[in-house]
């Protein structure tokens, strides 16, 4: 199982609304500055997606998220768009995304810790009975993707979770995302199992790295 503290997230809030599906495509396959030909500049361990009007990039390490940022900023410059970029790292102790760039102010750091402490207390007193909704994602082999999806859906059913496969046209064929709703303890169990199984399937393809999106 891979610890979630290896997860990195980039959030882009644009100054004006735009076609985010199109922006995802432009970032994923932006023109080569020298040859003018479309090429993939991001590896499969970077996930590009969006939620309503907010653009996200997820990666398993800082180097990958920096590569995604370079590609995003290049597209924004070429399309003369502006927006605020924030890079965060998953803090397992706080169980929250901790903003790295721009750095949090001391007041914001304290607020994050207070919110995290309240969340921990709420989960303890509620005995994890409250439902939550979370999207988790991994990378798996192309040839086994369908059987892997069926396996994970069956496991979610065993845990009593509502589980829907996220279908985004801009996700690569090796990326699988699940939208989960149910008790936090069951969501955590699914997440751990997903990462474990994805890591096992990655042995069939050494180029794949499993990860999740809390």
pLDDT of 64-79, one tens digit each?
Answer: 899 899 999 999 998 8
The torsion defined by the Cα of 184, 149, 11 and 86, in degrees rounded to 10, comes to 70
* CATH number of the domain bearing residue 176: 3.30.1370.10
Number of domains the chain contains: 2
In a domain, 118, yes or no: no
By residue range, what is the domain housing residue 143?
131-202
Average pLDDT, the chain: 77
Percent of the chain surpassing pLDDT 70: 75
* CATH number of the domain bearing residue 84: 3.30.70
Higher confidence at residue 124 or residue 104?
Answer: 104
In a domain, 104, yes or no: no
Tell me, yes or no, whether 72 and 149 share the same domain: no
Which pLDDT band, with edges at 50, 70 and 90, does 12 fall under? very high
Is the pTM higher than 0.85? The answer reads no
Higher confidence at residue 22 or residue 174?
Answer: 22
Among 93-107, 118-132, 156-170, the range scoring the smallest mean pLDDT is 118-132
Tell me, yes or no, whether 147 and 75 share the same domain: no
Among 27, 60, 91, give the residue marking a domain's end.
91
In a domain, 51, yes or no: yes
Query: Over the stretch 110-148, which tens digit does the pLDDT of each residue have?
Result: 888 887 766 655 555 554 456 788 888 888 777 788 888
Tell me, yes or no, whether 140 and 64 share the same domain: no
Higher confidence at residue 178 or residue 47?
Answer: 178
In a domain, 126, yes or no: no
In a domain, 115, yes or no: no
Tell me, yes or no, whether 143 and 197 share the same domain: yes
Q: Residue 180's beta-bridge partner residues?
A: 134, 163
In a domain, 77, yes or no: yes
């Amino acid at each position: 199982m891979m610890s979630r503290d290896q997860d990195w997230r980039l959030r882009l809030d644009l100054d004006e609304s735009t076609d985010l599906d199109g922006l995802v495509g432009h970032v994923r396959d932006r023109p080569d500055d020298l040859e003018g030909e479309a090429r993939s500049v991001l590896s499969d361990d970077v996930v590009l997606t969006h939620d309503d009007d907010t653009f996200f990039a997820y990666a398993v390490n800082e180097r990958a998220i920096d590569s995604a940022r370079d590609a995003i900023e290049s597209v924004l410059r070429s399309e003369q768009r502006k927006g605020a970029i924030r890079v965060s790292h998953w803090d397992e102790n706080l169980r929250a995304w901790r903003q790295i760039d721009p750095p949090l102010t001391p007041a914001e750091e304290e607020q994050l810790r207070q919110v995290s402490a309240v969340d921990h207390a709420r989960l303890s007193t509620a005995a994890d009975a409250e439902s939550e909704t979370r999207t988790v994602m991994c990378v798996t082999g192309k040839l086994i993707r369908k059987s892997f999806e069926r396996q994970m859906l069956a496991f979610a059913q065993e845990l009593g979770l509502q589980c829907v496969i996220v279908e985004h046209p801009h996700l690569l064929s090796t990326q699988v995302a699940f939208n989960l709703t149910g008790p936090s303890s069951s969501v955590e169990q699914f997440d751990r199992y997903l990462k474990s199984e994805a890591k096992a399937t990655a042995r069939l393809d050494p180029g794949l790295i499993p990860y999740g999106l809390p």
